[in-house]
Copies of this chain bind each other. A is one copy, B any other.
Amino acid sequence: MQKRVAVIGAGPSGLAQLRAFQSAAAKGANIPEIVCFEKQENWGGLWNYTWRTGLDEHGEPVHCSMYRYLWSNGPKEGLEFADYSFEEHFGKQIGSYPPRAVLFDYIEGRVKKAGVRDWIRFCTTVRFVRHDPATGKFTVTVHDLKNDTVYDEVFDHVIVASGHFSTPNVPEFPGFSTFGGRVLHAHDFRDAMEFKGKDILIVGTSYSAEDIGSQCWKYGANSITVAHRTAPMGFNWPSNWKEVPILERVDETTAYFKDGTSVKVNAIILCTGYKHHFPFLPDDLRLKTRNRLAAADLYKGVAWVKNPALFYLGMQDQWFTFNMFDAQAWWVRDVIMGRIAIPADEATRAKDVADRVAAEDAGQDAHDAIHYQGDYVKELIAETDYPSFDVDGACEAFFAWKEHKKKGIMTFRDNAYASVITGSMAPLHHTPWKDALEDSMESYLRN
């Protein structure tokens, strides 16, 4: 009998999984029945922008963590699909740091071409998954949000591709209950125009802090103050931007920091990261991991050690993104199709995880981490028919990007890199990022 596979989520990782199976079918293989459950009305995952925050039109948590004017914060040369280049999609080479809408279009282009939209049940959220040890099967309970009906289906495999940058980690600081301005998490940040002329406090120092602060600066915030827990980001910030030690408390109008300084602010944006959150999974199936390159309990970074009929995609912290999801999806496909064998004993699978953790921990810096994840991508693609590509070249793009950020945090996007898929050089964008207030696809492609 034909196997049935449930894919949870139609974002970049879930779509990679659909494309992986479709590419096998296109080569004549017999593939399982694939059912992809997607909570949103459209595919694209985080790249599917909405103005909504909090709960969506169906009362479900909004998946989107993106905002208007978001441009890629890393070079597109590090994430290009090996089986579908930017040049193939756009008919020409494009700039290296595309705005969100451009990347959405690119992601969509590949799956439109693959013709897998019919495999997806949109507006359908997964309520619960159970595994029956007697049958080895999974019962997936889903809610069809449009028709407001709940139903069960049985699958041989479940692939969790629901992401881990959608459920905010929201700490409380003393005084938040009485602060007289907006307190929000980066997850709910949508439009920098709201903060024009305002004094903004950002808590945190990772990508959200860096990029949301930069957006607010670009669109006219009066001042940006960033509070760090351990160390400042240390870039060459503009003059109305400062980094301060950890936030201790706020009152109605003012934030107070550990070094005794304080600043009046109008809004507080918590850039304090995201949680791996799987409210639809019982204890025996639920991943609990720190956000790291060697995620806990996943053999080869994808197969659930305790029950390798269950897979997770993209649950690592990420330098590599789209192409790493591809590498994982092709590999998972081949396990499900019997082309790759997973060790039968749990101890061997657990040792694989322990080895990966040790290898990550042996790294000294970001440079090592990028190579570590590049090597992981190489390891997976070597075992499948995913098109081999110059992963080391992609690592070089990341190194160059980091140098460009050091040189100028508001100018790094004014650089261009060579594609590791086609070899061609990206054009320099027609307008410096800081002056390009319009972020439409039409505007960006005018080069």
- Using a CB–CB distance below 8 Å, which chain A residues touch chain B? 49-57, 59-62, 68, 127-128, 141, 143, 148-151, 167-168, 170-172, 176-185, 187-188, 190-191, 193-194, 252, 275, 277, 279-283, 286, 288
Contact = CB atoms under 8 A, between A and B. Distances in A.
Contacts of A60: 279
| Secondary structure type dominating chain A contacts | loop
A250 B68 CA distance: 16
Contacts of A188: 53-54
A187 B127 CA distance: 23
A280 B143 CA distance: 10
B286 A150 contact: yes
Contact of A194 (B53, B151, B182): B182
Nearest to A151: B283
B54 A172 contact: no
Given A54-B55, A59-B275, A277-B59, A194 B168 contact: no
A132 to B, nearest CB: 14
A172 B57 contact: yes
Question: What number of copies of this chain does the assembly contain?
Answer: 2
Which are the 6 A-B pairs with shortest beta-carbon distances? A180-B193, A54-B54, A59-B167, A59-B277, A51-B176, A51-B177
Contact of A143 (B184, B187, B279): B279
A59 B252 CA distance: 26
A288 B148 contact: yes
Contact of A141 (B55, B128, B151, B288): B128
A191 B143 CA distance: 34
A273 B151 CA distance: 28
Nearest to A276: B59
A180 B194 contact: yes
Contacts of A187: 54-55
A167 B55 contact: yes
Contact of A127 (B128, B151, B171, B180): B128
A53 to B, nearest CB: 6
29 contacts: A49-B177, A51-B177, A51-B179, A51-B183, A52-B172, A53-B184, A54-B54, A54-B55, A54-B187, A54-B188, A55-B167, A55-B168, A59-B167, A59-B168, A59-B277, A60-B279, A61-B61, A127-B280, A128-B128, A141-B282, A143-B279, A148-B288, A150-B281, A150-B286, A151-B283, A180-B194, A181-B194, A182-B190, A183-B190
